């Protein structure tokens, strides 16, 4: 039995053991509320940047004329040419088009036509999200589409002035958290995490300033933790998914990876029109916040992860109003989120893949095993998983009546060796999936680690709509010098 098949069998056992929910409890796909409209905002109105972060630093240099957008793109392309063969960050690059757009952005800036906060900055897009004129392959030999139009989130990035360099590598169809074809820039014998692994590599190396990815279960936060950058998943339904190849319709979320909390905040405002901006929360006071510590999230944490996260949390003393250990979420909550999230997400994925009629013999073995197992899930099991999801959502909301933020390790281990990647399919995502399953916003920020150690991530979680609170606390915990040019 493969790791994927075994995980599915255990997930169904967990579902069968769930506490009985009221018979009239509706499924969870309608409890989060409607998705906001995704019409383009006035991106130029979002140009009041936080004073820190890579975006602010580069924008200042562009404004001063000490660098041009064309030079930023050339620098990024040189990095891609030098490092991509070994790291596999990008799977498709459109150099000539990016340079042409950069020249246009420079001319616009010279004439006072700044489009928005990402004007003239190179970005990348995960290869499950459509970019007009580029190929969407989803990391698979079985899938190839040539969309003419941008996905909604990509169109918003462009409207804010961003320059799309190309598509980044993904775990096949985003159905995993390892991205085994890519390598971690901190140790090239190890994985970057996934499924937005190529995006994490691109941001970590400076190949792109920001990368647009997805986080259906854990696909932004895991690679952020393993690569030592910032990754944020917003509240379910607040970022547009139109133009994204679906994994799970009731869990899919577009999300962002960037070097700093400020960069994520600025970019989040760009892709979430109609939602209250969060960039202004960078550096905001956090003295009234109550932070909860669910010790169940430390299960299986290695000594290095344990020490790094605890050291990061030590900074909370005197910074926030209160820090307390909580009984919930407990080990059963994390287990339920993982198991039921697997049933829901893989059942919905199997429905898409059956409709797509693709040749599964071309799929990766562990991806095919997941979908084959999901094909046999009964409709009643799927509905019961969704009903239990609704109950878990309500129970986790009650936790946030006691605290404002939860803090825990993003992953219990650091980046695993590439040859062992499949063994970590469930462990890497264990602390992240619960929050995706119930639709809560979460952010992973890097913890300080001793020289020579691989990155460790700290995950902060808030109740739905709590993105500004997360940005405020995350920026306070990571306050320090900006990254160099």
**Secondary structure in 3-state letters for the chain:** CCHHHHHHHHHHHHHHCCCCCCCCCCCHHHCCCCCCCCCCCCHHHHCCCCCCCHHHHHHHHHHHCCCCHHHHHHHHHHHHHHHHHHHCCEEEECHHHHHHHHHHHHHHHHCCCCCCCCCCCEEEEECCECCCCCCECCCCCCCCECCCCCCHHHHHHHHCCCEEEEEECCCHHHCCCCCCCCCECCECCECCCCCCHHHHHHHHHCCCCEEEEECCCCCCHHHHHHHCCEEEECCCCCCCCCCECCCCCCCCCEEEEECCHHHHHHHHHHHCCCCCCCHHHCCCCCCCCEEEEEHHHHCCCCHHHHHHHHHHHHCCCCCCCEEEEECCCCHHHHHHHHHHHHHHHHHHHHHHHHHHCCCHHHCCHHHHHHHHHHHCCCHHHHHHHHHHHHHHHHHHHHHCCCCCEEEEECCCCCCCEHHHHHHHCCCCCHHHHHHHHHCCCEEEEECCCCCCCCCCEEEEECCCCCHHHHHHHHHHHCCCCCCCC
Largest CA distance in the chain: 65
Q: Of the residues 69, 126, 140, 388, which is catalytic?
A: 126
Q: Of the residues 219, 239, 267, 345, which is catalytic?
A: 219
d(Cα 479, Cα 247) in Å, to the nearest integer?
Answer: 35
Q: Of the residues 38, 179, 195, 429, which is catalytic?
A: 195
Tokens at 188, concatenated? 């090239």
d(Cα 71, Cα 75) in Å, to the nearest integer?
Answer: 6
Query: What is the side-by-side strand order in the sheet with 163-168?
Result: 90-93, 163-168, 122-126, 210-214, 254-258, 230-233, 442-446, 457-461, 405-409, 290-294, 322-326
195 has catalytic annotation: yes
242 has catalytic annotation: no
CB 168 within 8 A of CB 196: yes
219 has catalytic annotation: yes
Nearest C-alpha neighbor of 85 from the set 249, 201, 170, 194: 201
Which residues are identified as catalytic?
126, 195, 219
């Amino acid at each position: 039995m493969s790791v994927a098949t075994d995980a599915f069998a255990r997930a169904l056992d967990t579902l069968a053991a769930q506490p009985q929910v009221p018979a009239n409890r509706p499924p969870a796909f309608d409890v989060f509320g409607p998705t906001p409209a995704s019409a383009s905002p006035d991106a130029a109105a979002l140009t009041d940047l936080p004073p820190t972060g890579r975006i602010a630093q580069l924008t200042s240099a562009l404004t001063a004329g000490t660098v041009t957008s064309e030079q930023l793109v050339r620098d990024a392309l040189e990095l891609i040419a030098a490092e991509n063969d070994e790291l596999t960050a990008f799977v498709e690059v459109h150099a000539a088009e990016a340079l042409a757009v950069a020249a246009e952005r420079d001319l616009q800036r010279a004439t006072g036509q700044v489009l928005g906060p990402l004007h003239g900055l190179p970005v990348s897009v995960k290869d499950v999200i459509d970019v007009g004129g580029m190929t969407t392959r989803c990391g698979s030999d079985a899938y190839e589409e040539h969309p003419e139009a941008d996905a909604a989130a990509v169109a918003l990035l462009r409207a804010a002035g961003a320059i799309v360099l190309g598509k980044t590598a993904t775990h096949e169809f985003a159905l995993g958290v390892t991205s085994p074809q890519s390598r971690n820039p901190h140790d090239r014998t190890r994985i970057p995490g996934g499924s937005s692994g190529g995006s994490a590599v691109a941001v970590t190396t400076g190949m792109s300033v920001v990368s647009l990815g997805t986080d259906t279960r854990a696909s932004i936060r895991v690679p952020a933790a393993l690569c030592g950058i910032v990754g944020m998943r917003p509240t379910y339904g607040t970022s547009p998914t139109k133009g994204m190849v679906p994994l799970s319709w009731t869990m899919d979320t577009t999300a962002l990876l960037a070097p700093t909390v400020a960069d994520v905040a600025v970019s989040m405002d760009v892709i979430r029109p109609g939602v209250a901006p969060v960039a202004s929360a960078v550096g905001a006071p956090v003295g009234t916040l109550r932070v909860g510590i669910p010790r169940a999230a430390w299960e299986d944490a290695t000594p290095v992860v344990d020490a790094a996260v605890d050291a990061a949390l030590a900074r909370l003393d005197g910074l926030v109003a209160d820090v307390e250990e909580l009984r919930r979420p407990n080990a059963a909550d994390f287990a339920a989120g993982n198991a039921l999230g697997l049933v829901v997400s893989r059942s919905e994925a199997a429905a898409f893949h059956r409709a797509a009629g693709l040749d599964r013999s071309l799929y990766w073995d562990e991806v095919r095993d997941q979908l084959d197992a999901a094909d046999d899930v009964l409709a009643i099991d799927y509905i019961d998983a969704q009903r239990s999801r609704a109950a878990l959502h309500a129970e986790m909301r009650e936790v946030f009546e006691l605290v404002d933020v939860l803090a825990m390790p993003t992953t219990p281990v650091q980046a695993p060796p590439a040859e062992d990647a499949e063994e970590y399919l469930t462990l890497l995502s264990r602390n992240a999936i619960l929050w995706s399953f119930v639709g809560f916003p979460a952010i992973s920020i890097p913890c300080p680690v001793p020289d020579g150690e691989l990155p460790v991530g700290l995950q902060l979680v808030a109740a739905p709509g709590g993105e500004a609170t997360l940005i405020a606390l995350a920026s306070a915990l990571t306050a320090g010098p900006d990254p160099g040019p």
